[in-house]
Amino acid sequence: MATRGGRPYELVVVAASGFTGHFVAEEVARVAVENELRWAVAGRSQEKLQAVLDRAAERLGKPELKSEVGIILCDVNDPSSLADMAKQAAVVLSCVGPYRFFGEPVVKACVENGTSCIDISGEPQFLEGMYLKYNDKAAEKGVYVIGSCGFDSIPADMGVIYTRDSLKGTLTAVESFLTVKSGPEGYSVHDGTWKSAIHGLADQDNLKNLRKQIGYKPLPIVGAKLKRRGLVFYSKEFKEYSIPFMGSDVSVVKRTQRYLHTDLQETPVQYAAYATVGGIASIIKLMFAGLLFFLLVKFSFGRNLLANYPELFSFGHFTKKGPTQKQIDGASFTMTFFGEGYSQDQDPQQGKPNVKICTQVKGPDAGYVATSVAMVQAGVALLKDASSLPKQGGVYTPGAAFSKTKLIDRLNKRGIEFSVISKPEV
């Protein structure tokens, strides 16, 4: 039984035995039957990959997974093994972070072998570097390389598009606020994310150079200019302190808006992202940790300290073990979007915004459950909504690739819920 283009698998999860990879594999197992997907797990160790399938079989009560799911051996340091893996898949779900170290070989193998590729990177240097290097070749091959399809940045990117589509009129600016809740067991994040942040911050100058090379033109500002908030501010809406969100959401949303504006002639939306952090005690702790982080990240000695002792320097927020299943089960997130714009009869180039809208994206644990759901549904949308994708292949953001697809409906059905909280009022 072969799939599109005679390939044995629709989806292959690469690095399936990694911390995030096994959640993604389990999520594919949940949705494979209803979507008629043949799939495989890929990585370096047959034993570890088999253990991932055994665990998923047990957790989901699907003993058939042990024998029905393919196992492909490949290694990011062995290009021919990656090429063999890519040739067997229609879409690869790449979980090989930190992507700056391991991501490119997978993208390269996919593009060269006519395979689409999805990742969950929150690293702008990697995402924009892949655009610079592979966009033209992916277009030529007719494949889609879509980065940041996890918690960074599907809720933000698709949330802005959902807000725009829910407003009667022209949306011109959006602020998002992320609130993360943990259960009685508390919460910790696996240190892979921590390492990505260390290297990302140390490498800011390279990101500037990359952007010069890409030659981004500034986006026109339509409507009233969105005012930036401070580094720490009290949010009246949430009655707690907030800070700018440190992930890749802003850069991803900006790239989406640039694509929608230049390629589809749509009005670009200004965007700012924030996270709520609680009361004054949280702020003091955060400022202390942040200051230490920024000082240490500048030196290789400091970076090694941060990488080797994540628990110490993050006050236990990041650990080498990652969260327990109980912590994951108790966690959830809400992203609230405050949008403003102009009613249908009003010219956005004239006067003040006269309509407002509030929307929300809510879901389970952001780091692993929501990320897995988002990544897998992005893969399903790529396979099932092909006629609604951009006309030609290339390296895309989620919003650029999926703005016309049924991705939001698919996410709603899997527990990442998009809703309008308040109707626009003039």
Q: Would the pLDDT of 48 be above 90?
A: yes
Neighbours of 380 (CB within 10 A): 24
User: What gap in Å lies between CA 62 and CA 54, rounded to an integer?
Assistant: 9
The per-residue pLDDT for 2 is 47
Q: What is the pLDDT of residues 191-239, one digit of tens each?
A: 778 888 888 777 777 888 999 999 988 899 999 999 999 999 999 989 9
Whether 257 contacts 398, CB under 8 Å: no
| Residue 308 CA to its chain's centroid (Å) | 26
Q: Determine the average pLDDT of the residues in 38-49.
A: 97
b (16+ CB within 10 A) / e for 231-262: eeeebeebebbbbebebbbbbbbbbbbbbbbe
Instruction: Summarize pLDDT for 56-73 with one digit per residue, the tens.
Output: 999 999 999 988 999 999
User: Residue 164 has which token pair?
Assistant: 């725009």
Which residues neighbour 329 within 8 Å (Cβ) at sequence distance 6 or greater? 183, 365
Instruction: Examine the pLDDT at 284 and tell me if it is beyond 90.
Output: no
Q: d(Cα 412, Cα 101) in Å, to the nearest integer?
A: 33
The DSSP line for 312-331 is HHTTTSEESS---HHHHHH-
Query: What contacts 414, CB < 8 A, 6 or more positions away?
Result: 31, 373, 377
270 has a pLDDT exceeding 80: yes
| pTM of full prediction above 0.85 | yes
Instruction: Give the model's pLDDT for residue 285.
Output: 83
The mean-pLDDT minimum among 30-34, 287-291, 381-385 falls in 287-291
Q: Across residues 117-137, what is the average pLDDT?
A: 96
Name the helix (H) or strand (E) containing 12: strand 9-14
